[in-house]
Amino acid sequence: MKHTLAVTVDNQPGVLTRVATMFRRRGFNIDSLTVGATENPSISRMTIVVQGDDQIIEQVTKQLYKLVNVIKIVDVTHERTVERELVLIKVKADTSVRTEVMQIVEIFRARIVDIGKNNLIIEVTGDSGKIDAIEEALRPFGIAELVRTGKIAMLRGCRG
Amino acid sequence: MNCKGAEILINSLKKQGVDTIFGYPGGVVLPIYDVLYDSDVRHILTRHEQGAAHAADGYARATGKTGVCIATSGPGATNLVTGIATANMDSIPVVFFTGQVASHLIGRDAFQEADITGITLPITKHNYLVERTEDVERVVKEAFYIARTNRPGPVVVDLPKDIMDKFIDYTPDDSEAYIQSYRVMKGFNAGQVINAAELIKQAQRPVIYAGGGVIISDAAEELRELAEKRKIPVTTTLMGMGAFPGNNYLSLGMLGMHGTRYANYAVSESDLLIAVGVRFDDRVTGKIEAFAPHAKIIHIDIDAAEIGKNVAVDIPIVGQVKEVLHAINQRLEVVEEMSEWHQAIDRWKLEYPLRYPASIEGRIMPQHVIESIYDLTQGDAIITTEVGQHQMWTAQYYKFKNPRSFITSGGLGTMGYGFPAAIGAKIACPDKTVIDIAGDGSIQMNIQELGTAMQYKVPVIVCILNNQYLGMVRQWQGLFYKGRYSNTDISLQPDFVKVAEAYGAVGLRVTETDQVKDALREAMKVDDRPVFIDFVVEREADVFPMVAPGEPLLNMMGGDE
């Protein structure tokens, strides 16, 4: 199954390479990986979605901990979390279907961030399920381009 | 104090207690070598960077101290790669300093530029590219701290030339290394220690499986106490040789692919396997599903990632092997006997001792040479090896008595390791007899280090078991490839006696079995230069017993008649 790991690391050049190299060398598969700054400028936060059974996830976690720049790992898969992903979708929509597309955007509480002659760019944030759903809904109109950020996650409440 | 980067570097090394550096100069490390010119840190100039890497590694293995090695950028650094990987696989603390092109040239494919931090990422415990002269002292401190603590390993520090040249206002900082994301492992799970002690008390057929972690953790004494208190037979891995005395009645010798029959039988029949400082390597376990099938497993190791990596265990204990064994020992009383289990093992020992065919047409058997080296040194020498048949025969026939007396590339299996490692070990331990047991293939991989041994008057003895084959590969071709000896005949070879003499070293050749010991005695008298002994041995001797790769340990070939 898919696990979501929230990994805090030193904010230094090369740390992403170290993490990626470890995954490659040990043959673990990354579904998605996002990395960004945190409230502390010396620390970055990675959200790694990785596929595997419990034994594999245990090895992934232990091998990650062996990297000197890794500070903390929390497997948030079974925790109460807020998960978000951002996606930009360029959908083909001339004037004849625009209203229909805008209704879908409304239903999903997405936003239109650019209007071209024959297409719209739609911004959606949400969990993976919501993003998959709006993608399905827009597909019949023709998706010209799509880019997803990968998932970020945060534990609810005080822990973590 | 106004100091340049290279001065800060050498000063920081001294503060780490470094007295010896193995290295090879070049363009971008000139500032460092200029400081070394009038420093009291001893620099050993090897004849190849790979030799420097292995010598620093041998120095570290012989002493337990952190080895230090320097090479220049580009090819100098890439020549270290095999040495770095060797140290990494065997958890050896060595800090490698590489020169790097000046900061403004990095990434521009400058002359002798190589991305050595990128290249060594998967084969180091950690590595650094130093970007500011102000960081030199801190990085050196951290590098040594990381290399020697927890599970040790190599650290690479890449030093751009301008960083070494630059002068800064420098105030020495004597604080301890502090790394927010790296903590030294302390303590262990006391509950698991109680559980382990209970299992040991209940066990009827226990076996200790001890590895290099026992030696690294300086836990040979604690291991021996556990074994002798509870009369538990001990088998060691290749890396664990010397962790338990080979001549102790509880010793089973090595297990695994070329282990003794009685070690492999004992592990396969055991009801409790106490795995100490080991990683369940494929050469040890054979077919993993059939490894120790009846045994509960206690696994003690400093590296949490080793627990459950290859086999599921019943009682994992993460911690310093020495501390954990001490705690377990305190919970155990002495037992007098384990008669049934020992009787079974004694029967196997009697029925399947290590043995080899008597001399074929008067030729020297390679195993006999190793037994003779043991007879003359009684386990008190430091033995290094290259990789191949001679390495396995050494593990089988030399009864190692002390930790740090066997220096061999176990994990990576690096041919050409033993000679430079022997030089490093002898420089570290000048009062010990140091012998490199070599094959005629391996010795040619770093034979240029004769120059180093001559320059620094290092009297190591190299015993070449010369069968004019790449013997281990030939053996596998014989067993698994219908005897098609593809590219393993190396009978076109130099006269090793003359090669040694060309360097000014001593060269001896032995062709008769009854001359073996005399030659060894003669070699041991030489105290100012290396000695090569070319033992012309039976060409097609095989290492037995043997478990074919992927087979269960019980499926052993050879050594039964």
Tens of pLDDT, residues B397-424? 999 999 999 999 999 999 999 999 999 9
Domains recognised in chain B with CATH numbers: 2-169 (3.40.50.970), 190-351 (3.40.50.1220), 366-548 (3.40.50.970)
Q: State the smallest CA–CA distance between residue A118 and chain B in angstroms.
A: 43
Residue B502 contacts A where some CB pair is shorter than 8 Å: no
Give residue A150's pLDDT: 86
CB B45 within 8 A of CB B428: no
Radius of gyration of the CA atoms of chain B, in A: 24
CA B418 to CA A16: how far, in whole Å? 37
Residue B392 among the catalytic residues: no
Gap between the Cα atoms of B322 and B277, Å rounded: 10
Low-confidence ranges of chain B (pLDDT < 50): none
Question: Which residues in chain A (26-65) have CB-CB distances under 8 A to chain B?
Answer: 42, 55, 58-59, 62-63, 65
Q: Do B303 and A59 touch (CB under 8 A)?
A: no
Q: What is the pLDDT of residue A158?
A: 73
Hey, are the CB atoms on B304 and A59 less than 8 Å from each other?
A: no
Cα–Cα distance for residue pair B120/B116, rounded to 1 Å: 6
**E strands, chain A, where?**
2-10, 30-37, 43-51, 70-75, 81-92, 111-115, 119-126, 143-148, 152-155
Note the pLDDT tens digit of each residue in B53-70.
999 999 999 999 999 999
B183 within 8 A of B149, measured Cβ to Cβ: no
Could you state, in order of their start, the residue ranges of all structural domains in chain A?
2-75, 81-155
Q: Between helices B389-397 and B366-377, what is the axis angle to 10°? A: 40
Q: Which of B514, B527, B513 is nearest to B459 (CA)?
A: B527
Among B147, B143, B83, B149, CA closest to B119:
B83
| Catalytic site includes residue B501 | no
| Structure token pair of residue B62 | 């012989």
Residue A160 has pLDDT above 50, yes or no: no
CATH topology of domain A81-155: Alpha-Beta Plaits (3.30.70)
Number of CB pairs < 8 Å for A and B? 36
* B144 assigned to active site: no
Reply yes or no on whether the pLDDT at A10 is more than 50: yes
Lateral strand order in the sheet of A70-75: A30-37, A43-51, A2-10, A70-75
Rounded Cα distance between A125 and A148, Å, is: 10
Q: Given an 8 Å threshold on Cβ–Cβ distance, is B118 in contact with A17?
A: yes
Measured in angstroms, the CA of A43 and the nearest CA of chain B are apart by: 10
Q: Give me the residue label for tokens 């001896």.
A: B508
Which pLDDT does position B561 carry in this prediction? 64
> Is the Cβ–Cβ distance between B191 and B127 less than 8 Å?
no
CATH class entry, domain A2-75: alpha beta
Please tell me which of the candidates B181, B308, B309 has its beta carbon nearest to residue A70. B181
**Over the stretch A116-148, which tens digit does the pLDDT of each residue have?**
989 999 999 999 889 999 999 999 999 999 999
ipTM of the complex: 0.88
Q: Is B522 on the interface with A (CB under 8 A)?
A: no
- Which of the following is catalytic: B15, B16, B65, B112? B112
Tens of pLDDT along A16-74?
999 999 999 999 989 999 999 899 999 999 999 999 999 999 999 999 999 999 999 99
Topology alike, domains A2-75 and A81-155: yes
Which three-class secondary structure state does DSSP give residue B425? helix
For residue B558, what pLDDT is reported? 86
